[in-house]
Amino acid sequence: MIKEEIIIHFFEGKCDARDAAIVQAWLKENPAKLKEYIGVEEWEDFQPPHVLSPDVSGRLWGNIHKNTNAPAARYTYFRWMAVAASVILVVFLSWQFIFKKQGASKAGAYPMAKAKDIFNNALSKKTLTLSDGSTVDLSPNSTLSYPENFDSLKRDVILHGEATFNIAKDPAKPFFVYSNSVLISVLGTRFTVNSYEADSATKVILHEGRVMVKISNSSSQDNKNEYYLTPGDIFIFKKGNKPSRILHLEKDKDGCYVFDNYPLDIVFDQLQIIYHTKIIYNRAELGNRSFIGKIDKKDSVCHILQSIALLNNFRLHRQGDSCIISN
């Protein structure tokens, strides 16, 4: 259920684009709820504003006139449905206009008051602590934008590059990460987002908990708009209108992990989840190499990585608790 405060802000024009889209979807599913926020006189006097084209307006009201011979209650229902559609469309278009005017950021045009922009120009990860106690390990050449203090309704950040998030649990305030047309929504969990501009895909890797990933790019041809991940899942959003997909950690009847022609970067990402070990690699060096095989967790991660390295003429060495794959 959407918070009452967010709905009120929606009608007052005070919420952001993400909340506006959420309320819009909720009203489309529950159009009769508009009665609770728009007075009867306002409702009965409502006419579609000029933002609706004559063609759309004509079709909308034409559908209602077809029902004028129906019982009064049915006519009232159709009028509610039609006006609800108009109100939702008008308010949503207004929000779209407002945020386009404010200037679209590469992450999806989500405004953020008093945002801090942290760029990691070091060679190692930088750990950031947010106002709610969440921590973010920001990878090199990555930027995180976040408010000094989260507001009372939500926690929003914008990522360009790669970071691992360890989110403090707060059921009353969901945490949202915006990154290259992808929206990740969580309550409290640990996950990694990889979304460099130069890469052809955005990846979300779930280590713990559960997350929802939503495609916020209106030009995407993705048939499915929302994806739900469980630990071990890797969500891949391909640029260029290619379908998104989720790769699961698959096990056979003997409990071995099965990799069926997976790209090496995906294999390394999933091995990190299985063994809780950091594996560092350069995606460009991996090329189009893939891996087919089974892995028993009883085997050491070093043995597995050494075998993959030998098969692909890579080198493997340890650095602290990390394994590094290189040419």
The answer on pLDDT for 166 being more than 70 is yes
* 186 and 223 share one domain: yes
Q: Which ranges of the chain would DSSP assign to H, the alpha helix?
A: 4-12, 17-29, 40-45, 54-65, 72-102, 264-275, 283-286, 301-311
Of 266, 223, 219, the C-alpha closest to 108 is 219
Q: Which of 26-30, 135-139, 208-212, 320-324 has the highest mean pLDDT?
A: 135-139
User: Considering 56, 78, 102, which residue would you say is the last residue of a domain?
Assistant: 102
Q: What is the mean pLDDT of the chain?
A: 75
pLDDT in the model for residue 111: 52
Phi, psi of 95, deg, nearest 5: -65, -45
User: Considering 59, 74, 102, which residue would you say is the last residue of a domain?
Assistant: 102
pLDDT in the model for residue 30: 67
Q: How far is CA 7 from CA 14, 17, 35, in A?
A: 10, 13, 13
pTM strictly above 0.75: no
* 226 and 290 share one domain: no
Which amino acid is located at 311 in the chain? L
pLDDT in the model for residue 95: 45
* 164 and 276 share one domain: no
Share of the chain above pLDDT 90, in %: 25
Six-digit token string for 153: 């309704």
* 123 and 227 share one domain: yes
* 12 and 85 share one domain: yes
Pairing of strands 322-326, 278-280: parallel
**Confidence tier at 231 by pLDDT (50, 70, 90):** confident
pLDDT in the model for residue 4: 74
* 142 and 239 share one domain: yes
* 114 and 92 share one domain: no
* 81 and 190 share one domain: no
- Average pLDDT estimate for 223-240: 82
User: Containing domain of residue 65, as a range?
Assistant: 4-102
Residue 234 CB contacts under 8 Å (≥ 6 apart), including other chains:
203, 204, 205, 206, 246, 247, 266, 269, 270
CA distance 234 to 231: 9
In DSSP notation, 298-312 reads TS-HHHHHHHHHHHT
Tell me how many domains the chain contains.
3
* 244 and 109 share one domain: yes
- For residue 311, what is the domain's CATH number? 3.55.50.30
**Confidence tier at 115 by pLDDT (50, 70, 90):** confident
Tell me the per-residue pLDDT of 119-154, one tens digit each, with 9 for 90 and over: 999 988 899 999 999 999 999 999 999 999 998 788
Tell me the per-residue pLDDT of 47-74, one tens digit each, with 9 for 90 and over: 444 444 444 444 444 444 444 444 444 4
User: Considering 102, 124, 142, which residue would you say is the last residue of a domain?
Assistant: 102
The answer on pLDDT for 236 being more than 60 is yes
* 284 and 169 share one domain: no
- For residue 229, what is the domain's CATH number? 2.60.120.1440
- Average pLDDT estimate for 72-99: 45
**Which letter, b or e, does each residue of 69-82 get, where b requires 16 or more Cβ atoms within 10 Å of its Cβ?**
eeeeeeeeebbeeb
- Average pLDDT estimate for 193-207: 86
* 143 and 194 share one domain: yes
* 313 and 265 share one domain: yes
CA distance 187 to 170: 6
pLDDT in the model for residue 54: 47
pLDDT in the model for residue 33: 66
pLDDT in the model for residue 218: 54
